[in-house]
Amino acid sequence: MIAVPAARDSVGTEGLLVPFDEANRQLIAAVRPHGWVNPQSRGVYDLVVIGGGTAGLVSAVGAARLGARVALIERGFLGGDCLLTGCVPSKALLRSARAIGEVRRAGGMGIRVGDFEADFESIMRRMRERRAEISAHDSVQRVQQAGVAVLFGHGRFTADRAIEVDGQRLTFNRAIIATGSRPATPPVRGLDQLPYLTSETVFSLTELPRRLLVIGGGPIGCELAQAFARFGSAVTVFDVAPRVLPNDDADAASIVHRRLASDGVTFHLGVKLTEVIQEDGTLVVRYEHPTGVSQATGDRLLVAAGRAPNVDGLDLDIAGVAVSNDGMRWRASPFRMRCSWDGAAPRRSSFPGAPIRIPKWRTSARTAATPGSGAGASRPSRSRSATSIARSSTTKLRASCASTTIAAACWAPRLSPRMPAI
């Protein structure tokens, strides 16, 4: 199952990049070159970024371009979710799904189209090729060329200004926690006994499931449901909420619902899943609905029921950061800090070694990270900093994917009198 020798020490990345074909080889060579040796740490870094996904890459490269001495730590592959298991592969599949929709509607536009067939293998190969092409933008080479020291391995705090990775201790003035999130597992009896798919593994499928069961009618569940329905799967979506996209505008959600239904997707909304089992090779999802109990069967199960923040094993408490279901906050801080990358934007851009001062109005919206919500104060800022640069990806994050939780924080202790030293 593990086909990624260069990333065996990573957490949660096994099986991500299969099949191990030319496209995936090219991708891995770009974002986690085989035989990579971490550079030796050189004194105190101005900025250490943990997590080489969208937020981490933008922060690290941006800060380095401003002259900061930056180290970027990634335990899996540079590019993170967006490149490997999120935006890029999903939008590649949706592009093929859209083409199918166009062909189906062609008759109504006066174009006669003969019989056609979706070739799942070719669709997935195209997705892998697009992903490999795009990986150049997130490559180790590009990040290094920007002056960032790239270190692979699991990063964790060992002191309020020190992080350990792969046996090395890096000391820093500032750190950004951009460790992202992963698919959450809903508490459904039997789920932990079954080999279900998530957004981390669905893009490695090589065979189209004849019947696909999807737990979760959020953005990820809906987009994949539509794609697979158009490819030819019989798709059934379950959600505890009474409508799809429960966190989004109701009118927009109803358009999405109607369109997916017209693509052949079956919905069971407002239901409570009670059990998932496997009987003679068939997956059975049992659920309660207002008028009784029912079940649905399928060949593969996709779980897209929310996200969990990647905060385990970071030893955030050592860094003085407390994590709860409401988000992250400074243990010693008198106020909660909601998601705002504006908060730590420095007044001046002469980053290396310079004392950083923050305009007073920004200090109350200091630090990022609200696993699960991502809402927060935000004021426009013209200042450029690692943190303000990271804001673009945060904004994208908030705007585009309601079910994606955010686990990224800008860590900048001792920046103002209102931020107690840890």
Footprint of ligand FAD (CB under 6 A): 50-56, 73-76, 80-82, 85-87, 90-91, 154-155, 178-181, 199, 220, 310, 313-314, 396-397, 400-401, 404, 408
Distance of closest approach, residue 143 Cβ to ligand FAD, in angstroms: 13
388 close to 342: Cβ distance less than 8 angstroms: yes
Q: Which is nearer to ligand FAD, 276 or 397 (CB)?
A: 397
Q: Which is nearer to ligand FAD, 179 or 387 (CB)?
A: 179
Distance of closest approach, residue 135 Cβ to ligand FAD, in angstroms: 13
Cis amide linkage into residue 19, ω under 30° from 0: yes
Q: How far is the CA of 310 from the CAs of 84, 371, 393, in angstroms? A: 16, 9, 17
Q: Which is nearer to ligand FAD, 63 or 356 (CB)?
A: 63
Q: Which is nearer to ligand FAD, 85 or 236 (CB)?
A: 85
Distance of closest approach, residue 215 Cβ to ligand FAD, in angstroms: 14
- Residue 331: closest CA among 281, 367, 374, 292: 367
Distance of closest approach, residue 201 Cβ to ligand FAD, in angstroms: 11
Task: Indicate the pairing of strand 211-215 with strand 321-324.
Answer: unpaired
* Calpha distance 32→13 (Å, rounded): 12
* Calpha distance 271→286 (Å, rounded): 10
Q: Which is nearer to ligand FAD, 183 or 286 (CB)?
A: 183
Q: Which is nearer to ligand FAD, 179 or 385 (CB)?
A: 179
Three-state helix/strand/coil letters over the chain: CCCCHHHCCCCCCCCCCCCCCHHHHHHHHHHCCCCCCCCCCCCEEEEEEECCCHHHHHHHHHHHHCCCCEEEEECCCCCHHHHHCCHHHHHHHHHHHHHHHHHHHHHHHCCCCCCCCCCHHHHHHHHHHHHHHHHHHHCHHHHHHCCEEEEECCEEEEECCEEEECCEEEEEEEEEEECCEEECCCCCECHHHCCCECCCCHHHCCCCCCEEEEECCCHHHHHHHHHHHHHCCEEEEEECCCCCCCCCCHHHHHHHHHHHHHCCCEEEECCEEEEEEEECCEEEEEEEECCEEEEEEECEEEECCCEEECCCCCCCCCCCEEEECCEEEECCCCCCCCCCHHHHCCCCCCCCCCCCCCCHHHHHHCCCCCCCCCCCCCCCCCCCCHHHHHHHHHHHHHHHCCCCCCCEEEECCCCCCCCCCC
Q: Which is nearer to ligand FAD, 7 or 283 (CB)?
A: 7
Distance of closest approach, residue 91 Cβ to ligand FAD, in angstroms: 6
Q: Which is nearer to ligand FAD, 73 or 245 (CB)?
A: 73
Q: Which is nearer to ligand FAD, 238 or 287 (CB)?
A: 238
Q: Which is nearer to ligand FAD, 24 or 310 (CB)?
A: 310
